[in-house]
Amino acid sequence: MSATAVASTATSVKKDSVPEIIAASMVGTAIEFYDNYCYSIASASYFGAIFFPAATKANPAIGTMLAFLTFAVSFLARPFGSMLFGHFGDKIGRKTTLVVALMTMGISTFLVGCLPSYDQLGVLAIIILCICRACQGVGLAGEWSGAALVATENAPAHKRALYGSFPNLGAPIGFFCAYGLNLLLDSTLGPDTMQAWGWRVPFLCSAVLVAIGLYVRLRMTETPIFRKAVANDRVVKHPLRSLVPYWKEVLLGTFAMGITYTLFYVLGTWSLSYGVKVMQPAFTQNEYLAMQMTSVVFFAIFILISCIYSDRIGRKKVLVTTTALTLVFSLFAMHLLQHNVVTVMVFLCVGFALMGCLFGPCGAYLPELFPTNVRYSGAGLSYNLAAILGGAFAPSIATALVQKTGSVVSVGWYMAIMAALALVALFLIKESKDKDYEA
């Protein structure tokens, strides 16, 4: 939809219904996280042997670390995606930009499932994998920030965090779908068949989810706040240039969110690899996936709880309290990682509860740091730079620390440092009272 077309309908402030807002904002992030989780499972379990066979035969830990580095490629591409989609999201609107982001993300994920192995193409297979992963990251970068704006720019002021939870609830839904499908396939096909070709099925199935997402996204209307901005001639031609005065907000938002990604990928990606491959005695893939699927329920519950409270007492109070608790958790939690279902479940459930409380309020917190004309760009850039800072190398760093020190306690110290950085950033951020969020 062009800016002119939006302006022509600006007098109408029709909003989508709440179910339409939930569907439009949640579906894309559910697919985003489904895609990321499928890749994280594959990199933790299969990609070492498929794309780095020589390194895996020599040392399985090295093969896993190399696979995790391809996992990081998506994160490194995200800032470019956030600048690209942020530019168009702030210039021509949220709707069209989100549709293109979803297509970019979905096609890239589907192609990963079609890739030949190293034995078939050699180094070229790794190069193509990294290209697909980079394109996936570009699409992912435009997804969350746009989805958050679809939710919060349609929200009443006193329920903005609650509405902002809609896209964030896509994360546990995507997690559950990805891990559930992998668990079902692994139970049905067995480890050997999964290693041979079964790992491809979750990537190929993403096409179905993308088709559903496109149907929902094409039916949504532009947000009333963006329509009002167009009508009042407050849309800028060069959003990134206009974002420059807000560099402090971008930087502090990045550090404030860094621990969110670190915690998530330590829980969801690294701990799976550790529990199945390194822990003595180890869990089976099915056992650990089942524990993660159970614990992710706490992720979803605490996204809602934290958003309800952040509407009542403020985003910053909820985030500061949760980040402080995450720092304490980091110092003691790694002692729970042993071959004991009860202690591992405590580790995962408490960790995902904290993750929910960190991730939930950010759907409103980050967009509120920026005015309408640079909101897509600013929130997206903070979110995606945080992905690099906290998540891109978290599985690789955690694997290397255990390999070097021989102890999982070092991973806890790594998480504690990230939590401390986030606390400092949160104390330095001034909460926005941006009135142009009102439609």
Task: Write the pLDDT tens digit of every residue in 400-421.
Answer: 999 999 999 999 999 999 999 9
Q: What is the pLDDT of residue 437?
A: 58
Calpha distance 172→30 (Å, rounded): 8
Concatenated DSSP letters for 301-366?
A: HHHHHHHHHHHHH-HHHHHHHHHHHHHHHHHHHGGG-SS-HHHHHHHHHHHHHHHHHHHHHHHHHT
Between CA 62 and CA 272, with CA 350 as vertex, the angle to 5 degrees is: 20
| φ, ψ dihedrals at 432, nearest 5° | -80, 145
Calpha distance 315→374 (Å, rounded): 21
Q: What is the pLDDT of residue 9?
A: 43
Residue 7 has pLDDT above 50, yes or no: no
User: Crossing angle, helix 247-265 and helix 341-365, to 10 degrees?
Assistant: 160
Residues 30, 247 contacting (CB under 8 angstroms): no
Residues 178, 49 contacting (CB under 8 angstroms): no
Q: What is the pLDDT of residue 373?
A: 85
pLDDT tens column, 338-361: 999 999 999 999 999 999 999 999
Model confidence at 10, pLDDT cuts 50, 70, 90, reads very low
Q: What is the pLDDT of residue 14?
A: 57
Q: What is the pLDDT of residue 88?
A: 86
Calpha distance 199→109 (Å, rounded): 13
Q: What is the pLDDT of residue 434?
A: 52
Question: All domains of the chain, ordered by start, with CATH?
Answer: 16-430 (1.20.1250.20)
| φ, ψ dihedrals at 346, nearest 5° | -60, -45
The number of helix segments (H) and strand segments (E) in the chain equals 21, 0
Calpha distance 362→427 (Å, rounded): 15
Q: Is the peptide bond before 167 cis (omega within 30 degrees of 0)?
A: no
Residues 151, 21 contacting (CB under 8 angstroms): yes
Q: What is the pLDDT of residue 23?
A: 84
Residue 130 has pLDDT above 90, yes or no: yes
Q: Is 190 helix (H, G, I), strand (E, B) or coil?
A: coil
pLDDT tens column, 27-64: 888 888 898 889 988 998 899 999 999 999 999 889 98
Enclosing H/E stretch for 294: helix 285-313
- Global confidence as pTM: 0.84
- Burial status of residue 159 (CB atoms within 10 A of its CB: 0-12, 13-18, 19 or more): middle
Calpha distance 199→190 (Å, rounded): 11
How far, CA to CA in Å, does 177 sit from each of 35, 172, 174? 10, 8, 5
Residue 439 has pLDDT above 70, yes or no: no
